[in-house]
Amino acid sequence: PGVGKTFLAVGLGIEAVNHGFKVYFVTMGELVQLLKSEEFSSKSKIQLKRLRDSDLVIIDDLMYMAMDQREANLFFHLVNHLYERSSIILTSNKSPEQWGELIGDQGITTAILDRLLHRVEIIHSDDDSHRMRNRKSLFSAEV
Question: What CATH number corresponds to the domain at position 27?
Answer: 3.40.50.300
C-alpha 43/C-alpha 37 separation (Å) is 9
Domain count, the chain: 1
pLDDT tens-digit readout, 69-125: 899 899 999 999 999 899 999 998 877 777 777 787 788 888 888 888 877 777 777
User: Residue 40 sits in which domain range?
Assistant: 5-140
What's the pLDDT score for residue 4?
78
- Alpha carbon distances (Å) from 18 to 4, 47, 73, 126: 21, 21, 34, 30
